[in-house]
């Protein structure tokens, strides 16, 4: 399926005017960056890069797209002709997925003619703004959960395809699994889940429901114990399943208090290894508050798929350099009030001392030296060269988070964990 119409109308009218005026074929550099991290967060996390590459591969104007644009009179015939032959032939560099980013980090750089690069603005931003918002929230939750696993289960709280991308982004940041089957199918994210209240209510008694679930899914399953009376349900669960019951799930009430009571009952029945999973409007703050409670795993829904209060990452896609009439590449930047931009093609490096990140270094020329380069080659002359397995991104995220200074894991609002220095 073509991704070409997942684009704003004005990208095409700009193209038309630039083709007619003659500037369309000037070489241009666009940069994706965020002026700030949302809500006093200490770091952001890059996710969605691989999805940008997939979308780029399918960015083609075929007969269906061209017929629509013609019928809706979006652009003129010369522009339609250009679009019919459109293939991105330029370069894309970007931060790798799982890497952290900070205000001003050039997380993606797109070079090509103005015509070919401007068309990608909407789609690139849609993907990165969504996936990075989810990843940036997910990473905080994983840090708050420590060694306890988290399952992502927010599909029902967001657009049905956003749910798939959200599951991928959360897994990339260390969530253990997702409820979303499509994310399992398309991205290989492990999927998990057992039963809802409806399953208990379907049966004439809670005991009937638990027995049916245990018979079919085995004693390793997770029984949901808060449909009626939690204490009674836990006793029923262990009586039916024995001490090898896999887990119980609590979805309501004061989770910390209820978990304590459930742990006591389970232990009294010898079910010492039966795990307690809690769910129900959890976010990074609620997870952190449960650190001392006898909880073995978390299920997180709404808050992770909606970026925990910040559903979009504030990335913009700005023209930072372009050829002038004489063919020389010139830095450019708008001067709009309150929206600072820095002209010029950028390079970016992470300065790390004794294993701890200390500075984000953004330069106008490639810099050698010992700092870690952050911009990887993703597309070379229109050919996608930057694909990698999702597990590599997941490992990179673990590494980048470990490298951040301790204050990066503060959940209170404040400054970015490391400063961004433009030099």
Taking the least distance from each CB to a copy of itself, the nearer of 192 and 247 is 192
What residues form DSSP beta bridges with 216?
none
Residue 309 CB, shortest distance to a copy of itself, in Å, is: 9
Cβ atoms within 10 Å of 148's Cβ, excluding its own:
18
Residue 293 CB, shortest distance to a copy of itself, in Å, is: 16
Residue 125 CB, shortest distance to a copy of itself, in Å, is: 4
Residue 405 CB, shortest distance to a copy of itself, in Å, is: 30
SS3 341: coil
Residue 68 CB, shortest distance to a copy of itself, in Å, is: 4
CA within 13 Å, CB half, 183: 29
Taking the least distance from each CB to a copy of itself, the nearer of 103 and 193 is 193
Residue 185 CB, shortest distance to a copy of itself, in Å, is: 4
Q: Which DSSP helix (H) or strand (E) runs through 400?
A: helix 390-403
Residue 164 CB, shortest distance to a copy of itself, in Å, is: 7
| DSSP characters over 72-112 | TT-S-HHHHHHHHT----SEEEEPPTT-EE-TT---EEEEE
Q: Are 313 and 136 in contact (CB under 8 A)?
A: yes
Taking the least distance from each CB to a copy of itself, the nearer of 338 and 369 is 338
Compute the distance between CA of residue 4 and CA of residue 241 in angstroms, rounded to an integer: 54
Residue 349 CB, shortest distance to a copy of itself, in Å, is: 26
Taking the least distance from each CB to a copy of itself, the nearer of 203 and 409 is 203
SS3 291: coil
Specify burial of residue 399 (Cβ count, 10 A radius: 0-12, 13-18, 19+): exposed
Compute the distance between CA of residue 287 and CA of residue 275 in angstroms, rounded to an integer: 16
Taking the least distance from each CB to a copy of itself, the nearer of 212 and 351 is 212
Taking the least distance from each CB to a copy of itself, the nearer of 269 and 317 is 317
- Which residue has tokens 């959940």? 411
C-alpha torsion 283→294→192→245, nearest 10: -160
Taking the least distance from each CB to a copy of itself, the nearer of 30 and 95 is 30
Cβ atoms within 10 Å of 3's Cβ, excluding its own:
18
What residues form DSSP beta bridges with 139?
none
- Which residue has tokens 């849609």? 126
Taking the least distance from each CB to a copy of itself, the nearer of 226 and 360 is 226
* Residue from 154, 144, 146, 171 nearest 412 by CA: 144
Q: Quick one: tokens of 18?
A: 């630039």
Q: Are 46 and 95 in contact (CB under 8 A)?
A: yes
Radius of gyration for the chain, computed over Cα atoms and rounded to the nearest angstrom:
25
Taking the least distance from each CB to a copy of itself, the nearer of 190 and 405 is 190
Residue 390 CB, shortest distance to a copy of itself, in Å, is: 15
């Amino acid at each position: 399926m073509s991704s070409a119409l997942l684009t704003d109308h004005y990208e095409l009218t700009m193209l038309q005017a630039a083709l007619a005026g003659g500037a369309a074929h000037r070489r241009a550099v666009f940069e994706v960056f965020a002026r700030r991290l949302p809500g006093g967060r200490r770091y952001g996390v890059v996710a969605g890069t691989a999805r940008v590459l997939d979308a780029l591969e399918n960015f083609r104007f075929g007969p269906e797209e061209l017929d629509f644009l013609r019928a809706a009179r979006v652009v003129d015939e010369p522009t339609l002709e250009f679009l019919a032959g459109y293939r991105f032939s330029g370069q894309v560099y970007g931060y790798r997925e799982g890497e952290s980013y900070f205000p001003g980090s050039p997380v993606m750089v797109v070079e090509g003619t103005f015509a070919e690069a401007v068309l990608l603005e909407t789609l690139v931003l849609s993907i990165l703004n969504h996936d990075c918002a989810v990843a940036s929230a997910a990473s905080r939750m994983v840090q708050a959960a420590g060694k306890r696993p988290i399952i992502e289960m927010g599909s029902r709280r967001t657009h049905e395809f956003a749910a798939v991308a959200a599951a991928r982004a959360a897994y990339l940041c260390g969530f253990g699994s997702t409820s979303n089957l499509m994310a399992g199918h398309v991205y290989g994210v492990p999927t998990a889940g057992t039963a809802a209240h409806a399953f208990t209510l379907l049966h004439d008694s809670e005991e009937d429901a638990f027995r049916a679930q245990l018979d079919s899914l085995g004693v390793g399953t997770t029984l949901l114990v808060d449909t009626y009376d939690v204490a009674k349900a836990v006793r029923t669960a262990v009586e039916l399943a024995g001490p090898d019951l896999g887990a119980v799930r609590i979805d309501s009430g004061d989770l910390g208090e209820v978990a304590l009571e459930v742990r006591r009952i389970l232990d009294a029945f010898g079910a010492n290894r039966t795990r307690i999973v809690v769910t129900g409007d959890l976010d990074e703050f609620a997870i952190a508050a449960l650190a001392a409670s006898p909880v073995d795993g978390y299920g997180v829904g709404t808050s992770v798929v909606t970026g925990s209060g910040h559903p979009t990452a504030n990335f913009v896609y700005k023209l930072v350099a372009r050829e002038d009439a004489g063919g020389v590449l010139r830095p450019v930047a708008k001067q709009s009030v309150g929206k600072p931009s820095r002209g010029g093609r950028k390079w970016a490096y992470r300065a790390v001392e004794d294993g701890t990140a200390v500075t984000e270094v953004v330069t106008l020329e490639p810099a050698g030296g010992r700092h870690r380069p952050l911009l990887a080659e993703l597309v070379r002359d229109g050919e996608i060269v930057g694909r990698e397995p999702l597990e590599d991104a997941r490992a990179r995220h673990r590494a980048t988070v470990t490298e951040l200074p301790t204050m990066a894991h503060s959940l209170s609002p404040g400054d970015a964990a490391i400063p961004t220095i433009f030099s």
